[in-house]
Structure 1
Amino acid sequence: MTDKTGKPELEFHVPAGPWRAPAGAGPGVAEQVLAEDASGERRTVLQRWDPGTDTSAQGVARHEFWEEVYLLEGSLHDLTLDETFPRGTYACRPPGMPHGPWTSADGVTMLVVTYPADEAG
């Protein structure tokens, strides 16, 4: 069964899906899909970066969808802002918002939720 977003209806369970490199991600980045709709536009994932991950090669990121990120463990350093964001911090990025590039000296695990531009956050 799915809800109005097209994501599956899931009760509490231990996620068991594989950890895979997301499309376009650099080395050291993997994600585990918790829930997504059939189109892949509405996703909830755990994403982890290995210690030493550096996204400088990808440059500043911009995308055409909403993205919400909550840091569960570790930290991210934003190279553009020269600021480090620790565990427990949150970002809500509208479509087109520039962010990054990033490094993570000790690694990071985050909860990431994405949805189409026409759906308000």
Structure 2
Amino acid sequence: MITLTLRAVRTDAKPAAPMPAPTRLPANSLYLRLLTWSFTLFNSVRVFAYLPTIWAIQQHGASDQHSLLTWITFAGANASMALWLFEQNGRRIHRAVIVNVGNALMCTAIVLVIASHRLGH
């Protein structure tokens, strides 16, 4: 059997203080400019960082050293992030979208190389 207990709620209590608004930095702040450029730099370099993995699998055929599920997940995460950024920014393509598309394409290339080696053997 279930018993419900009702409690009286005081209506004369003071309301909680409102949460302070988040602090926003000016769009032209040095911090935001550095953050934007470091994002662009490191994520652009990351596009090229996939090349040694592709080359190693092609050269040595050791596709069993790489998880197909992991690379499919990375490709999907980068592709969905690119689409999310595109939608969140008024359906505009900007550097973050382009960088995520590039990373998704490189992860997809690794998936294809791994799959081709596994199907070929």
Q: TM-score range by the shorter chain?
A: under 0.3
Normalised TM-score (structure 1) = 0.24
Higher helix share: 2
Using structure 2 for the length normalisation, give the TM-score.
Answer: 0.24
